[in-house]
Amino acid sequence: MSREQRSRRANFVQLVKQFAVSAFVILTFAAYSIHDRTSENDGPVAAVPTLSSERDEISTQSLASPTAIAPSPALQSVATATTPPTSIPALPTVVPSPTMPQSGYQDGQYTGVLADAFYGGVQVRAIIQDGRIMDVQFLEYPQDRRTSARINSRAVPALRREAIQAQNAQVDIISGATLTSEAFIQSLQSALDQAKF
């Protein structure tokens, strides 16, 4: 075998090896992509935080009766120590009546439409008390794919928190969760439309 033939053969073997490695990488990536799209909830999903039972209990007590939560003895002693010696009548504390809405919403629970977020639907329920948004519960959101679960484990609590703070559906789009954010706004707005007087 001549030197030129050996060189050609070595080049051919090198070319076959490069092709085999490239094909292996491409097939591995394709298999991973197919597996990721078709697999059911492969990894652990961070739980969507909810209100603690202690906060629920306090808010329920305060809504039921304005005197349900008494000030602590330490606060009472500070209040009496700072009261001026002259007898000035204390101003009455204004506690909103449960029938007096503060933001134009009727009390109750209102379920929004199921809005399309491309990788799944988003549907929320708005809970209104004393005319205010007290909670927004996610009934459905994309979480069947690992990527969706990761993105929404961060986006869901942020969207909920913003809606309660803003007292409407005009929340900021969460970076990296644009589709979920837009579907959330659509579903929450439809729920709040039902709650309006």
DSSP letters spanning 142-176: --SSHHHHHHHHHHHHHHHHHHHHHTSS--PPPTT
Q: Top-level CATH class of 97-197?
A: alpha beta
Phi–psi pair at 67, nearest 5 degrees? -100, 10
pLDDT > 70: what percent of the chain?
65
Handedness of CA 39, 44, 48, 52 (dihedral sign): positive
Can you tell me whether residue 50 is helix, strand or coil?
coil
Cα–Cα distances in Å, from 135 out to 34, 77, 161, 163? 38, 35, 9, 9
pLDDT tens by residue, 107-159: 999 999 999 998 899 999 999 999 999 999 999 998 888 888 899 999 999 99
pLDDT bin (cut points 50, 70, 90) of residue 103 is: low
Residue count of the chain = 197
